[in-house]
Copies of this chain bind each other. A is one copy, B any other.
């Protein structure tokens, strides 16, 4: 069932709670692909009722980012959700979420702000305010749907670490489950932003997963020095690849390391023809 209003979701959820159903939430920005579907299938497996939110959240986009052109495909999303047995697709308007005519800023809205230590690095460095917007909307969705479990993709690994930290710091009574990255056969991590890429770009975009895989191979061969591991990337990069970051950090705390170990994650962000892509891999 497709619902646009917060109150309608609350009413439906109330019925689920009364029945003692376990509720799963899959928060998305729509433009659903197999990555999202893997989250939905996991939710379907773990929970009695599954809610998928589809909301392109204005407050997590910077002023020069792709909020306006971000793909919106609600009809296709709804029919995919239906096929997967989703119980509620919650697709609110921005004004339903943030009020009519509200200027969307921390001058007028309450924000949930993750700690600087988790935010001042990786994607947060170039996307100032992004994770405040993410935590705020996820917190709102949590309060609206009150799920038992919420499902997030490993593709946005920093996001999941930050949301887990929010859940812990604010004592939110919700379990967070992270699902693995889904890739094309080529190795390209699925992303709604892949729609911006030409066929040519997509070939160039393989550099991300190749760099990550090669670092993992080197690690498995015994290289643990982080600088040495990073250096293995440079032979892959050409002037088609505008590398934003390549970092090797603790998978739970995002702390920098001098030596990689089994708790390490490698994250990369790179622009291909102006399209910002991210990817990551666990070393274990």
Contacts and interface: CB of A to CB of B under 8 A. Distances in A.
A284 to B, nearest CB: 26
Interface stretch (A102-110, A258-266, A267-275): A102-110
Contact of A170 (B108, B136, B146): B136
A224 interface: no
Contacts of A114: 110
Contacts of A220: none
A10 interface: yes
Interface stretch (A21-29, A32-40, A137-145, A183-191): A137-145
A90 to B, nearest CB: 12
Interface in A72-125: 106-117
A10 B165 CA distance: 19
Interface in A143-157: 143-144, 146
A172 interface: yes
A152 to B, nearest CB: 16
Contacts of A106: 113, 115-116
Interface of A: 6, 10, 106-117, 135-136, 139-140, 143-144, 146, 165-166, 169-173
16 contacts: A6-B171, A10-B173, A106-B115, A107-B115, A107-B116, A108-B117, A110-B114, A110-B115, A110-B166, A111-B113, A112-B112, A112-B113, A139-B170, A140-B170, A143-B172, A144-B171
